[in-house]
Amino acid sequence: MREVDTEQSIRQIIKGSIKAYTEGFESRHVGEVDDPDGTINMKIHNIFIAALGEEIQYYTALVRSLDSSLGNMLEGMAINIAELFYEVHRNVEGPLYPEQTRVIAELLEAYKNSNNPLRPDVLHYKKLLESDKSTGASVKTHVSDYYLIDKETKRHYLIELKIGGDLDNKKARSEKEAIFEQYAILANTLGENADIRCYFATAYNRFGEGKEWKQTRVLQFFSPRELLIGRDFWNFVCCSDKGYGIVLDEYRRTLFSLEFRKDLHEMALYKSLNEQLKMVA
């Protein structure tokens, strides 16, 4: 991997991303506290949570909103960092042949069937190159989480990112299907000798960094060589084996300086305090 000579640029991207996110999160949630159609108030209608009390009701809604919006911020931040090192695209477009679609479906069904000995392998991508192309292809556009081109090595990378990687069987299958189709489209467009590499990635290891990643539904459709989990993903995006450390260090530094954790506690209490003040008035 390359030495990071743009560490400061990476840190500036992280700092700017977090600052914009925290300011927007706070203003949106506090500003909409009395709006029945606001971000939080549209998440509080679970009658079973409501029975636990208003403070718990508001707090759980706040946490769910934080979890989903934080994921969007991290994905955007990773794209901005990747642009320092790669040419970044968000879709692929080109021909896809009927036989390739059939081979993809056949492979996915084999992975799904526990009685079938076939297991995911990066060599299976070659089966798409060997498919019959005598029948007419349809032009297809596929939205990509990350389609990265390394100008130095001439490699093309297709990455499907799921922040925590907690997918059910249907979603894991659809992620692999999307990767297969994007690979086929790129190979048909760039030529069979193009260096195309495909990955399923997560922003963190939900089992704990450094521990074995055991999301069985994903592993049913992706081989270990197709995974970029937590540290590996950030190192890849930052083009350095120091990337994960830089990202985590600046993330923590910025959150601490912004006192966002304190603000979250205040927001969690804001709803009930606001209602109490109304009653007093």
At 40, the pLDDT band (50, 70, 90 cuts) reads low
pLDDT at 165: 75
- Tabulate helix, strand, coil % of the chain (nearest 5): 55, 15, 30
Which of 67, 75, 239 has the alpha carbon at shortest distance from 144? Answer: 75
pLDDT, tens digit, 9 for 90 and up, residues 220-258:
999 999 999 999 999 999 999 999 999 999 999 998 888
Query: Who's near 141: CB < 8 A, 6+ residues apart?
Result: 91, 92, 93
DSSP string, 182-237: HHHHHHHHH-TTSEEEEEEEESS-TT-TTSPP--HHHHTTS-GGGEEETHHHHHHH
| Dihedral pair phi/psi, residue 132, rounded to 5° | -65, 130
Q: What is the Cα–Cα distance from 200 to 182, expressed in whole angstroms?
A: 13
28: its two tokens: 């949106």
pLDDT at 281: 44
Q: How many residues does the chain have?
A: 281
Q: Cα Rg for the chain, rounded, in angstroms?
A: 22
Q: What is the Cα–Cα distance from 87 to 166, expressed in whole angstroms?
A: 28
pTM comes to 0.85
Q: Is the pLDDT of residue 271 over 70?
A: no
Burial 42-57 (b: 16+ CB within 10 A, else e): ebbeeeebeeeeeeeb
Q: Is the pLDDT of residue 270 over 60?
A: no
pLDDT at 174: 94
pLDDT, tens digit, 9 for 90 and up, residues 70-111:
889 999 999 999 999 999 999 999 999 999 999 999 999 999
- Name, of 26-30, 60-64, 85-89, the range with top average pLDDT: 85-89
Which of 67, 22, 58, 20 has the alpha carbon at shortest distance from 40? Answer: 58
pLDDT at 135: 86
pLDDT, tens digit, 9 for 90 and up, residues 153-208:
999 999 999 988 777 768 999 999 999 999 999 999 999 899 999 999 999 999 99
Compare 270 and 131 and report the one with higher pLDDT: 131
Q: What is the Cα–Cα distance from 203 to 217, expressed in whole angstroms?
A: 17
The average pLDDT across 28-55 equals 69
The average pLDDT across 251-270 equals 72
